[in-house]
Amino acid sequence: MEFVRLEVEGGVGTIRLDRPKMNALNVQVQDEIRACAEEATARDDVKAVVVWGGEKVFAAGADIKEMATMSYTDMVARSGPLQASLGAVARIPKPTIAAITGYALGGGCELALCCDFRVVADDARLGQPEILLGIIPGAGGTQRLARLVGPAKAKELIFGGRFVDAQEALEIGLADLVVPAADVHETAVAWARRYTGAASFAIRAAKEAIDRGVETDLETGLEIERMLFAGLFATRDREIGMASFVENGPGKARFEGR
């Protein structure tokens, strides 16, 4: 693909955005993100995923020049695929980490919100400034941001369209780790490597239980957990993990991913 590619090394897949100058998320980039996310989901050699925009910028938002020419009916047709493109990242059933340098604004911030974790450069800026264009976030920002930082903080950020720096992002839960800009990608990959030897189906079940559970009431969430927990007793990794624990103690199992 032209602007987005999946690079795989040592069990870690990197979804690399590379559209000069600011990784603006035009329609083509959106579709390529979706294709790479689906490939990362399907590939057994990918155990965890890093989303990275390069050393200078994560993604500075949608392609406003392209969007400015779209009519209401154009956006009715496009808004579903727009959400689906970033939603494909959220649906990757493996640990995902956004490696954020420079700016993660608008659609770029929404892409970062689709990941499980966010490693942020100490000089980065994040935000949902769509209100300054007379619109609102349309690729999940109103929903995922509110779930991550709480409704009141999400409203304050979205209503005002202001940017937050790395330290504030860390304080409100929008960032999970802040490091020097030069270390962002290496740190994110190292984090992803923690999961390359894990029991893949257990990771998948844990992610599904958490993501689906927070969207419902406690009783329903507990039932989701119960079914996924029981289902893991059909996996080879569960046999390996328990046998290894009995024989050698915790943390020594060598899982097979099946």
58-103, pLDDT tens digit by residue?
A: 999 888 999 999 999 999 999 999 999 999 999 999 999 999 999 9
With a pLDDT cut of 90, the percent of the chain lying above it is 96
Q: 110 an active-site residue? A: yes
Where in the chain is CATH 1.10.12.10? 200-248
Q: Say what the pLDDT of residue 82 is.
A: 93
Instruction: Check if 62 is active-site.
Output: yes
Q: Active-site residue among 37, 40, 48, 62?
A: 62
The CATH class that applies to domain 4-193 reads alpha beta
Q: Is 91 helix (H, G, I), strand (E, B) or coil?
A: coil
Kindly report the average pLDDT of the chain as a whole number: 96
* ∠ CA 10-13-18, rounded to 5°: 130
| CATH 3.30.1600.10 is held by the domain 200-248 | no
In the set 59, 87, 110, 140, the catalytic residue is 110
Catalytic member of 107, 108, 127, 241: 107
CB crowding 206-224: b at 16 or more within 10 Å, else e = bbbbeeebeeeeeeebeeb
Which pLDDT score is estimated for 62? 87
pTM, full prediction: 0.95
- At 111, the amino acid letter reads L
Q: Which residue ranges does the chain devote to CATH 3.90.226.10? A: 4-193
Separation in Å, CA 51 to CA 13, 54, 218? 9, 9, 31
Per-residue pLDDT tens over the stretch 101-146: 999 999 999 999 999 999 999 999 999 999 999 999 999 999 999 9
Mean pLDDT over 160-173 rounds to 97
What was the pLDDT predicted at 162?
Answer: 95
Instruction: Give catalytic status of residue 130 as yes or no.
Output: yes
Instruction: Say if residues 191 and 155 touch (Cβ distance below 8 Å).
Output: no
Annotated catalytic residue, options 130, 138, 209, 253: 130
Give the pLDDT score at 183. 98
